[in-house]
Amino acid sequence: MRKIILYSDQIMPASFAMDKAIFGFVKERPVRIAYVASKTDPLRKYFKPKREYYAQLGIADVAYFDFDREFRRAQYEEMANYHVFHLAGGDTNYFLTSLRKTCGLRFLRENVSAGKVLVGVSAGAIIAGADIRICSVFNESIEQDPTGLSLFDFEFFPHYCDCEGTNCKLRRYSMDSHRKIYACADGNGLVLDDAKIRFFGGAMCFDNGLTTPVMPGGGDD
């Protein structure tokens, strides 16, 4: 059973309704979150605000993990004791490369398939999909093997702005990828509960060159 929460960005209070899905997925208390940095964060510049964000939700146990320069093999066993894996935002290509080099993709895929909750924010949300080729819309370079976690069969596009330039690129990309794309603005996102998708704040769906607005709460089964 898949338990996945994809954010364009976590913004309080706009994302609060989505945040509550964590408590619906995790029945044990207290909830424990393993924060996975997109690259080494030696001063915890990006980790500390996220820990404070979760503290506002009453979640105090948020631990930092790193698949980059601070990677340790022992962290696999440590992470297995957490309920939620939070994949942070950042450089999507670099993050994916680090996960692949450390066998992190396999670890995350197996544990999410076994029931762990995955929270993906921006780059972390993109990596959760089949591949990261959608980053080309941001004009980001793509590594030789763009394969992601492949936890669902659509693509997630964060930081969406409803402008013709972006829409044109996404329509064209949807025709090449042959997959649905759900584009969400910051503060918005979706929750995937097994096969059911629920949208928060709405989204824009791009499918084979066609564009369709998705209302909050609406989705596919």
Rounded to whole angstroms, how far apart are CA atoms 117 and 193? 10
CATH topology for 3-214 is Rossmann fold (3.40.50)
First to last CA, the chain: 14
pLDDT in tens, the chain (221 residues): 799 999 999 999 999 999 999 999 999 999 999 999 999 999 999 999 999 999 999 999 999 999 999 999 999 999 999 999 999 999 999 999 999 999 999 999 999 999 999 999 999 999 999 999 999 888 776 767 899 999 999 999 999 998 899 999 999 999 999 999 999 999 999 999 998 999 999 899 999 999 999 998 866 64
Are the beta carbons of 182 and 155 closer than 8 angstroms?
yes
Q: And the tokens for 214?
A: 């998705």
Q: Which residues contact 177 (CB under 8 A, 6 or more apart)?
A: 133, 134, 155
- Separation between Cα atoms, residue 215 and residue 221, nearest integer Å: 15
Are 51 and 62 a contacting pair, CB within 8 Å? yes
Q: What is the pLDDT of residue 220?
A: 60
